[in-house]
Structure 1
Amino acid sequence: MPAYKFVKSSYSGGNAGQECVEVARNIPRTVAVRDSKRPGGPVVTLAPAAWGAFTADLCQRQP
């Protein structure tokens, strides 16, 4: 497995047990996403364009 360097989402709070994701962008042509509560759990990898489309859609849905 590549050596992903995960960063917690800026939308995540500091409370234990709170839902949040971590994103790694240090591997070329790859964006990796995981659940911060399960650092040893599964990792979803995406192309940067797919991640960009996903986050753009989320921004449009914000009230």
Structure 2
Amino acid sequence: MHGDAFYSLFALIPLIIYVAPIVFIIWFLLKFLKLQQEKNQILKSISDKLDNFTNDHSES
């Protein structure tokens, strides 16, 4: 009786092996997209500062 539960856990191992890569890929893509958004915000901030700098110096 106790062995049946043990063998039923072994039946779940292939399912975990198939699902784990999919979960990892989704996690990686979400992390990558978040990093790209942060990079874009930083680059936009730099661009805005450069625009302000060039506008201030071109007027004088």
TM-score, normalisation: structure 1:
0.27
Relative contact order: is structure 1 or structure 2 higher (C-alpha 8 Å, sep ≥ 6)?
1
Query: Which has more strand, going by share of residues?
Result: 1
TM-score, normalisation: structure 2:
0.28
Query: Which has more helix, going by share of residues?
Result: 2
Q: Which of 1 and 2 has greater Rg?
A: 2
